[in-house]
Amino acid sequence: MKLADLTQRAGEWLRGAGPMHDVVISSRARLARNLASQPFLSRCNATQQREIAERLRDEILAAGIAKNVFYVNVAAAGALDRELLVERHLVSRQHAEADHPRGVAISGSETVAIMINEEDHLRIQVLRSGLRLTEAAEEITQIDDRLEQSVEYAFHSKYGYLTACPTNVGTGLRVSVMLHLPALKMTGEIQKVFRAARDMRLAIRGLYGEGTEASGDFFQISNQTTLGKTEQQIVDEFFGQTMPHFIEYERRAREGLMKSQKAAVEDKIHRALSLLRAARLMSSDETMHLLSLVRLGVNLGRLPEIDLRIVNELFLLSQPAHLQRVCGHEMNDQQRAEARAEFIRRRLLQDN
C-alpha cells in the first residue's frame, strides 16, 4: 500500500454513511503523546528528531495497530503529496509544511493516522464516518495500549501524559466531529451555535482544523479541556450532552426552512445540481458551496437520484491536489477550474 493508491477514492470515513450522517460527516479522536526521557520536539536537534522519527516508525509498524499500515516520510515527500495528505485529513497543515524529520503512519482504510514529530512526538488519530465517537475513542485506546508496550511515554502522576503545549496535557485526548450545518447557516442561527459551543468550552474550526476559518457550511467542533477528566468523561460529555443538541438544532432548522421557504430552498438545491452538471469552469469555493446544497438536498430527500457517497467523495476529489493527481499532471488555477468542472460532470453523470 502506498500514497498513490489512495487518490482514486475517498477514505472509508468519508465514503461511509455512519449514524446521523445527515448532519455529522465524521468523528475523530486524537491523542498527544511524547517519549519519556526525550526533550519535546522544539528542543530536539535534527539528529534527535531523525532518531525519534525512525524509532517511532519502526515501533508503529511492528506493533500491528491496524491492517495494512504504511509509512510516509513526510520530510522527503513532494509538495503535491503533502498537500494530498492534508486534503485527506491524514496530516495537519503545520505538519505538512514543517521542515524537520517527520512522517505519518496510515492504516489501509485511512481510519488510523499517526503523525510523528508534529507538535508532539506522536499524534494518534482515529477517524470514523458519522457520529461514532465511542468507537473512535475505543480504537484509539487500543492503539495507545499497543504502542505503550514498547514505547515509554512521558507521564506524570499529577499532570498525566505530558505534552509540548500545556493545553493538551492530562489525557492528551481531543474528540471532534465534522458537522454539515447548511440550514443553520442559511437562517443565520449559526452564530448561536458558535456562542453555545464557546459557553460549553468547545472549539469551532473550519474544515481543516486548527488555524482554518469556520467558513462555508462545514464546522469542526472539539473539546478543549484535556486535564481533570477521564477519557470516558470527555467522550460522554461531548457525545451524550453536547452533540444531540447541535444535531437537533440543525434538523429543526432544516424542517423550518422546508415549511416556511420550501420553494426557495428547493430552487437553490436544484440550481446547484444543474450548475454542477453543466458548468465548464468551477472554482474550489464554488464547488464547496454547490456540493453543500446538493448534500442538503439529498438529505432532505429532494434528490433521490443522487448517491450521498458520490457527493461526499466529490468534496475530496475536487480539491486541488487530488484533482492534479487524478488528472496525472500539475495545473494552474484556470486549468484546474476546467478539469474540476469536467470531473464533477462525469461523476454526476455516472451516478445516473
Residue 74 contacts residue 104 (beta carbons within 8 Å): yes
Regarding 315 and contact with other proteins (CB under 8 A), the answer is no
Regarding 213 and contact with other proteins (CB under 8 A), the answer is no
Q: How far is the CB of 95 from other proteins (least distance, A)?
A: 15
Among 27, 34, 107, 287, binds other proteins (CB under 8 A): 34
Regarding 47 and contact with other proteins (CB under 8 A), the answer is no
Q: How far is the CB of 196 from other proteins (least distance, A)?
A: 9
Residue 308 contacts residue 339 (beta carbons within 8 Å): no
Which residues have CB under 8 Å from 152's CB, separation 6+? 35, 36, 37
- CA–CA dist 351, 309 (Å, integer): 10
Contacts with other proteins by CB under 8 A: the residue count is: 57
Give the residue with the Cβ less far from other proteins, 174 or 325: 174
- CA–CA dist 100, 95 (Å, integer): 9
Which residues have CB under 8 Å from 56's CB, separation 6+? 35, 116, 121, 122, 151
Regarding 119 and contact with other proteins (CB under 8 A), the answer is yes
Residue 42 contacts residue 192 (beta carbons within 8 Å): no
Window of 1-9, 31-39, 63-71, 312-320 that interacts with other proteins by CB under 8 A? 31-39
Q: Considering only residues 234 through 293, tell me which ones interact with other proteins, judged by CB under 8 A.
A: 234, 260
Burial class (CB in 10 A: 0-12, 13-18, 19+), 208: middle
Among 73, 94, 134, 141, binds other proteins (CB under 8 A): 141
Among 23, 133, 136, 154, binds other proteins (CB under 8 A): 154
Among 67, 198, 245, 271, binds other proteins (CB under 8 A): 198
Regarding 212 and contact with other proteins (CB under 8 A), the answer is no
- CA–CA dist 60, 71 (Å, integer): 9
Regarding 352 and contact with other proteins (CB under 8 A), the answer is no
Window of 13-21, 182-190, 267-275, 301-309 that interacts with other proteins by CB under 8 A? 182-190
- CA–CA dist 144, 132 (Å, integer): 18
Angle (CA) 174-33-83 rounded to 5° is: 70
Regarding 109 and contact with other proteins (CB under 8 A), the answer is no
Give the residue with the Cβ less far from other proteins, 102 or 336: 102
Q: 243 phi and psi, to 5 degrees?
A: -60, -45
> DSSP assignment, residue 5?
G
Regarding 228 and contact with other proteins (CB under 8 A), the answer is yes
Enumerate binding residues for other proteins (CB under 8 A): 34, 36-40, 42-43, 119, 141, 144-145, 148-149, 152-167, 169-171, 173, 187-189, 191-192, 194-195, 198-199, 201, 203, 210, 224-231, 233-234, 260
